[in-house]
Chains A and B, each alone.
Chain A
Amino acid sequence: MTEGQTPIEVPVAPPWKRDFPYQALSEEEVTRREFARYLVLGAGTFAVANVGIAAWTQLRTINTGEPRAILPLADVAVGEPHLFRYPGDADPAILVRLSDTDVVAFSQKCTHLGCVVYYEPDQQRWHCPCHEGNFEAQTGAVISGPPTRPLGRIDLEVRTDGMIWALGRHT
């Protein structure tokens, strides 16, 4: 190098580049704007999904059930629960005879997160063991715990032949 010439600066590769000296065919960078565009696209997808769920919630029809015979009243002892399926085969329901003449039935799904509820005769309540939710035995109203809505009540009728009929379920 002669006097008066400025030295040429040779770029120094970072250590990781020396240790891993491979290069992709096209090392692309995502710009800030592109990244934000992806995020906005994601937000749009979520918005469409939310609108779809709302429309689905509005338009779906909930099976509240057709009248169906469950079992004879004489087969249920006072304070004893009876499990059955209503209105569909995938819908667990529970029936209990509270007194000689009083029979109530509810969907067995807890209105909190869908665990099954059980009848506690000594406490006269429906109990959900998952999160300690409790419901009033007669009405299914919330007594305590995280649930905010009552149990889905099933209308019953004891017909003259002594058979208990389920008439329909409240949502």
Chain B
Amino acid sequence: MRTSERARRTSSAVVLYVIILVAFQVFLITVAVEAFQTDTESLAWATAAVSVTLFAAAAAFLRYLRP
């Protein structure tokens, strides 16, 4: 496989990962709202921690994308 082809496929995979992470964020926001409604503070903070971690992961993936 040529280098450019490999780079293109890698960047496509990275974009796919980021899309999955963002989709997971949508799920997490529903969990957070449910935690709010049920007044479950521990669940709300755990959800926030996972959400921030996912955001950091998505930002890190962005670095692997070729300009």
Residue numbers of A with Cβ under 8 A of B are: 32-33, 35-37, 39-40, 42-44, 46-47, 49-51, 53-54, 56-58, 62, 111, 114, 149, 171
Find out whether the CB atom of B65 lies under 8 angstroms from the CB atom of A57. Answer: no
Q: In this complex, what residue of B is CB-closest to A44? A: B55
Between A and B, 17 residue pairs with Cβ closer than 8 Å are A32-B15, A32-B65, A36-B14, A39-B15, A40-B55, A40-B59, A40-B61, A43-B18, A46-B28, A47-B25, A50-B28, A50-B52, A51-B51, A53-B47, A54-B47, A114-B37, A149-B38
Give complex CA distance A42, B52 in Å.
12
Q: Which residues of A contact B14 (CB under 8 A)?
A: 36
User: Which B residues have a C-beta under 8 Å from some C-beta of A?
Assistant: 11-12, 14-15, 18-19, 21-22, 25-26, 28-29, 32-33, 35-41, 44-45, 47-48, 51-52, 54-55, 58-59, 61-62, 65-67
CB <8 Å contact, A47 and B36 = no
Minimum C-beta distance from A110 to chain B (A): 12
Residues A53 and B39 in contact, CB atoms below 8 Å apart: no
Q: How far is the CA of A40 from the CA of B14 in the complex (A)?
A: 12
**Distance of A85 Cα from B54 Cα, bound (Å):** 42
Report B19 CB to chain A, min CB distance, Å: 6
CB proximity of B50 to chain A, nearest CB, Å? 8
- B35 partner residues in chain A, CB cutoff 8 A: 53-54, 57
Per DSSP, chain B at the interface is helix
Q: Which of the residues B22, B36, B65 comes within 8 Å of A43, measured between beta carbons?
A: B22
Residues of B within 8 A of A33 (CB): 11, 62, 65-67
B44 engages A57 (CB within 8 Å): yes
- The 6 A-B residue pairs with the shortest CB-CB distance, nearest first, are A46-B25, A50-B51, A47-B55, A54-B44, A54-B48, A57-B44
In the complex, the answer to whether A43 meets B55 with C-beta atoms within 8 Å is yes
On chain B, the residues within 8 Å of A32 by CB distance are 11-12, 15, 65
